[in-house]
Amino acid sequence: MLDSIFSYNNPDSFVNSLRKNRFRHIEAIINGLIEKKGTIRILDLGGNLSYWENMNWKSTATHISLLNLTQSTIPDESKHLFEAIQADALKCPFPDFSFDLVFSNSVIEHMGSLENHKIFAQEVKRLSHNYIIQTPSIWFPIEPHCRLPFFQFIPHQIRAVLLMIFKINYFPKAKNYHEGIEASKTTIMMGKSRFKSLFPEAKISTEFLWGVPKSYTATKVAMQ
């Protein structure tokens, strides 16, 4: 039952249906860039192949680099469209404006600190004139990583104790208090004002679910 709602591995899940709705906007921007440039390079910060497969993305006019801290493998049949890069999104190993588009889906909130949010945003803007960055809203009542109501509002000190007692979905069970604090700080969500402050030159759109902000997307398209 829960997988039919929350699982990103299930292409027919409720959360993936929401992603597909958001992807219409992303697809339109990508196609606009392709029309302008012919072929384009996309950097997906923290991305994975399953996201694009769930979106049924097969355009040979794009080459998509999936950047993650851990190494992943691209199947041979997908290597003409995708490559996996092991690197830190806070210090990407590319020259300025190496990509036609930087994309990221629900990653910036995992950078570990408010200062790292800023560094992540700076790297996005350094690497491309165009970007689409999405993050879940802190104001949606169900915290999307642990799937518990209002977990995002619990102070890290209390969350650390809870994580010493329980494994809470995304969050691993901590061996000690310090480990609990570190695990808790792997997810720091934000509201629209803070998100806008990171990308002041972008258009910020809000996705609503049941009348409540569920996520925010920062979009800047220069078409250069």
Mean pLDDT of the chain: 91
pTM: 0.90
- Assign domain 2-142+188-220 one CATH number from 3.40.50.2000, 3.30.413.10, 3.40.50.150, 3.40.640.10: 3.40.50.150
- Confidence class for position 115, pLDDT limits 50, 70, 90: very high
Question: Mean per-residue pLDDT for 127-136?
Answer: 98
Least confident of 4-8, 80-84, 122-126: 4-8
Please report, for the chain, the start and end positions of each structural domain, with discontinuous segments joined by +.
2-142+188-220, 146-186
- Confidence class for position 13, pLDDT limits 50, 70, 90: low
Does position 16 have pLDDT exceeding 70, yes or no? no
Q: How do beta strands 131-136 and 82-86 pair?
A: unpaired
- Collapse the DSSP code of 217 into the 3-class scheme (helix H, G, I; strand E, B; otherwise coil) and give the result: strand
Q: Which of 115, 57, 127 is nearest to 85 (CA)?
A: 127
Q: Which of 108, 97, 91 is nearest to 130 (CA)?
A: 97
User: What DSSP designation does 78 have?
Assistant: G
Give the integer Cα–Cα distance in Å for 219 and 224: 15
Q: Which of 153, 149, 134, 190 is nearest to 18 (CA)?
A: 134
User: What DSSP designation does 153 have?
Assistant: G
Q: What angle do CA 35, 39, 45 make, to 5 degrees?
A: 110
For 59-109, the pLDDT digits (tens) are 999 999 999 999 999 999 999 999 999 999 999 999 999 999 999 999 999
Tell me the residue ranges of DSSP E strands in 87-130.
101-105
Residues 6+ apart with CB under 8 A from 116: 90
Q: Which of 66, 51, 101 is nearest to 220 (CA)?
A: 101
φ, ψ at 186 (rounded to 5°): -70, -10
Give the integer Cα–Cα distance in Å for 198 and 68: 21
User: What DSSP designation does 157 have?
Assistant: H
How far are the Cα atoms of 102, 177, 208 from residue 213, in angstroms, in the given order? Answer: 24, 32, 4
Does position 189 have pLDDT exceeding 70, yes or no? yes
